[in-house]
Amino acid sequence: MNTREKKRLLDDYLDLYRIASSMNDSDWQIDIKRKLVAILEGKDLFGEQKRELQQQFIEINRQILLIFQRMHRGEDQDKGLSLKLFALKQRRFELSREIDQIKTFQ
């Protein structure tokens, strides 16, 4: 993260801290303080979150593959698999967006 991005991120978190303070949300304030310290210390703020989302993405892809295999074998009698497949695809799309958002901060 270059200096300009770091400054922008610090400013954003300081704004969030002010909002949390005005709402008297001490838990949120503590979380924001931890993130501010991490940014100042140059730690990878989003690396762990990104890895976690990627693991979820991989697991969803595995589940989608299993559903396709079951459907290919004709196991989708009650359309339950189709509904589950749709839900998994929707979640995969959401995870992709979350991962992309994290990439913009790195």
- Using alpha carbons only, give the angle 77, 83, 88 rounded to the nearest 5 degrees: 130
Q: Give the residue, 2 or 35, on which the prediction is more confident.
A: 35
Burial of 83 (0-12, 13-18, 19+ CB in 10 A): exposed
Kindly tell me if the per-residue pLDDT of 18 is higher than 70.
Answer: yes
Instruction: Categorize the per-residue pLDDT at 61 as very low, low, confident or very high, splitting at 50, 70 and 90.
Output: very high
Tell me the per-residue pLDDT of 38-60, one tens digit each, with 9 for 90 and over. 888 877 667 777 888 999 999 99
- Grade residue 105 by pLDDT with cuts at 50, 70 and 90: low
Q: Give SS3 for 100.
A: helix
Two tokens, residue 49: 């979150």
Task: Give the predicted TM-score (pTM) of the model.
Answer: 0.57
pLDDT digits (tens, 9 = 90+) for 71-90: 888 877 767 888 899 999 99
**Average pLDDT score over the chain:** 85
* pLDDT number for residue 104: 64
